[in-house]
Amino acid sequence: MAKSGARILVVDDEIEIMRALQRSLTAHGFEVFTAANGEDALEAISHHRPDLILLDLGLPGMSGLEVCKRVRAQSDLPIIVLSVKDTERDKVLALDLGADDYVSKPFGMNEVLARIRVALRHSAQVQSGADPVFVAGPLRVDFAQRSVQVNGQDVKLTPTEYDLLKVLIKNRGKIMTRQMLLSQVWGTGYGSEAHYLHVYIGQLRRKIEPDPARPRFILTVSGVGYRFSSDD
């Protein structure tokens, strides 16, 4: 398999999981570094300059949430959280602090690899600058003209619907919590107005989805928020 060149830091205090991730990621062409606690993770980030972090939340000493907060305060380095299934509140907190995605333990390597590819692709798009025109299947959005088309037909969106769609597309592949979307579209004073978001997501789906009952683009992440998918 061709080398990807991407450098990944695995942060987990469970040695078996860390070693399994290291073996599998290395076999898929990644350069892998490891850390078993938050302090070592921050040092490894400074020393190795990874392209992505796989970060366990349940670390000894400095928590994974604190690591996420410190990393995000200094850079846009992609962070994928590794979390046990019953810590939904911590997942949401991590995403609100700037994590890009999460994978629940126990996980399969194919899922981890897929999430890594999406996060690295999104990071590359952000660094190179977003294209003025976004196209995915039947959907075409011209950001310069603020125009939206589905199957070549113009779609009329309200200003709020357009702003919501723009935020979702700009962060495609990344889980956006309800709090993040409310703050970015409506403002920081609307953090608890989740019903606004539910209504507008429904309106957007009816206007851009080929089948609103089975969304292709705006996917619900149960208990957390939404993810825009541009993959076929």
**pLDDT, tens only, 84-119:** 766 678 888 889 888 999 998 888 999 999 999 888
* Tens digits of residue pLDDT in 118-160: 888 877 766 545 567 889 999 999 887 788 999 999 999 998 8
CATH 1.10.10.10 location in the chain: 133-228
> Domain 133-228 class?
mainly alpha
Q: What are phi and psi of 139, to 5 degrees?
A: -95, 130
Per-residue pLDDT at 56 exceeds 50: yes
Task: Specify the 3-state DSSP secondary structure of 215.
Answer: coil
Out of 18-27, 128-137, 166-175, least confident range: 128-137
Check residue 1 and give its pLDDT. 37
Check residue 230 and give its pLDDT. 82
* CATH homologous superfamily for the domain 7-128: Response regulator (3.40.50.2300)
Question: Above pLDDT 70, what percent of the chain?
Answer: 90
CB contact at 8 A, 22 and 46: no
Nearest to 120 by CA among 222, 21, 1, 25: 25
Mean predicted lDDT score pLDDT of the chain: 87
Nearest to 109 by CA among 20, 7, 8, 201: 20
**Nearest-10 Cα torsion for 175, 132, 122, 91:** -20
Check residue 191 and give its pLDDT. 59
Residue 119 CB: number of other CB atoms within 10 A?
A: 24
Compute the distance between CA of residue 100 and CA of residue 34 in angstroms, rounded to an integer: 19
Does residue 215 or residue 75 have the better pLDDT?
215
CB contact at 8 A, 33 and 55: no
Check residue 48 and give its pLDDT. 87
pTM over 0.75: no
Check residue 26 and give its pLDDT. 95
Compute the distance between CA of residue 44 and CA of residue 4 in angstroms, rounded to an integer: 20
CATH 3.40.50.2300 location in the chain: 7-128
Check residue 159 and give its pLDDT. 86
Helix spans in the chain (H): 15-27, 38-48, 64-74, 88-96, 109-128, 159-170, 178-185, 194-208
Per-residue pLDDT at 192 exceeds 90: no
CB contact at 8 A, 56 and 12: yes
Burial 181-213 (b: 16+ CB within 10 A, else e): bbbbbbeeeeeeeeebbeebbebbbebbbeeee
